[in-house]
Structure 1
Amino acid sequence: MMKRGIDIVFAISIGLVALVPIFVSAMLFLILYRETPFYVSIRAGKQERSFKIYKLKSMRQLFDENGEALPDYMRITKFGQFLRKYSIDELPQLWNILVGDMSLVGPRPLPVAYNSLYNQRQRKRLSVKPGLTGLAQVNGRNAISWEEKFELDAQYVEQQSLKLDSKIILQTIGKVFRGADISQEDHVTVEIFQGTTK
């Protein structure tokens, strides 16, 4: 109950301040690229409950002659790279926190299609609400492998406490200002998870 209370207070207080960068970023993307500035995706929440996650769009909707989306490196925009570097694209998820789909701290919400690919330990990440930031995000974010991320997620579930959440929040602030670990090596963002045999 205390964690939920903190989530609500944070979502409202920071959300009011975030309205300005969200609005400005959305308008700039719309003007520059003539596309809807928001990205909506279905993600897996606590106990596999699916919900819609909201982000500021960083990539354009560009397709090849067969109607398939072009690779990420061809679709990501200069403005989008800036949004990703400082995690501005994640700010609309404050709404997800406010309505209870997410928490401030927890494993990052991932596509529903990944649910069937987790091994038993990795599935622990689905036993808590997903978060805006988490233990994996302050220990490598997208620069580490899926297996490393999911192990950190499992550790968070086992060790979760308000003290740990506070530590993660403080570390997240530093990561955001440095724009660190936003992508994997040789990838614009992160490769698709295809399961693990471990």
Structure 2
Amino acid sequence: MKRLLDLTLALTTTAFLAFPILIAALAVRLTSQGAILYWSERVGRNNVIFQMPKFRSMLIDTPAVATHLLENPNQYLTPIGSFLRKSSIDELPQLWSILKGDMSFVGPRPALFNQYDLISLRTQQGVHELVPGLTGWAQINGRDELPILQKVELDVEYLKRCSLLFDLKIMWMTVLKVLARDGVSH
């Protein structure tokens, strides 16, 4: 049921947002050098690595680490990078990952391949068995600002409470958070 909902929503959303996606792609191309999409190595279900696309919001020489680990993340942003991140427009190419089945609309956010502490804690708690999501319970309860232990606690809570109604609640709360640009530090 969840996969069918993901496919239906991803196709509908892609069709509905096709023009804004095209505009965002053009804006990335015109405002900085490099590819329009950044393909990030992420950890998926059962700790399998997959390639997750995002609109490129950082310069091409940015180290491949979580943004909060950069000494001065703002120095790496493209001219429209801050807008793309705060509006979450940079996440729209992940609709492709949902269509492929690497991601779901709701689940724990996929860890970077080198976030060993997060991957280890999630694996110990069984969270690694979930398909990662475009949004999730931890995302709407702190996003970039959460320490790893708290993020994993929220992921475990999602694992225990996982249901269609809970997913719908998380999606609705995500829309509210994105509109308010809440919880984005860069």
In the superposition, the TM-score normalised over structure 2's length comes to 0.88
Query: What residue is the counterpart of 1:9 in the other structure?
Result: 8
The equivalent of 1:85 in structure 2 is 86
Name 2:106's counterpart in structure 1. Answer: 105
Task: Percent identity, please.
Answer: 38
Single out whichever of 20-29 and 96-105 deviates more from structure 2: 20-29
Corresponding residue for residue 65 of structure 2 = none
Supply the AA of the counterpart residue of 2:151: K
Q: 2:162 aligns with which of 131, 135, 160?
A: 160
Deviations 1:128-181 (A, max 9, x none): 000000000111111221211111011101110111101101100000100110
How has the CA–CA distance of structure 1 residues 46 and 164 changed in structure 2, closer, same or farther, with 3 Å as cutoff? same
**Pair 120,101 (structure 1): closer, same or farther in 2 beyond 3 Å:** closer
Please tell me whether residue 44 in structure 1 is matched to residue 46 in structure 2.
Answer: no
Please identify the structure whose Cα radius of gyration is greater: 1
Aligned counterpart for 1:181 among listed residues 174, 177, 183: 183
The equivalent of 2:66 in structure 1 is none
Moved over 6 A (4+): none
Q: Give, as a single letter, the amino acid of the residue that structure 2 aligns with 1:111.
A: L
**2-structure distance, mates of 1:72, 1:143:** 14
By how many angstroms is 1:96 displaced? 0.5
21-30 vs 164-173, greater mean Cα deviation: 21-30
* Corresponding residue number in structure 2 for 1:193: none
Unmatched tracts of structure 1, length 5 or more: 64-68, 189-198
| Structure 1 counterpart of 2:67 | none
TM-score under structure 1 length normalisation: 0.83
Number of positions where the alignment pairs a residue of Structure 1 with one of Structure 2:
178
Unpaired stretches in structure 2, ≥5 consecutive residues: 63-69
Deviation of 1:121 after TM superposition, in Å, equals 6.7
CA distance in structure 2 between the partners assigned to 1:94 and 1:12 by the alignment: 8
CA distance in 1, matches of 2:111, 2:30: 30
Question: Residue 71 of structure 1: CA displacement?
Answer: 4.8
Aligned to 1:192: none
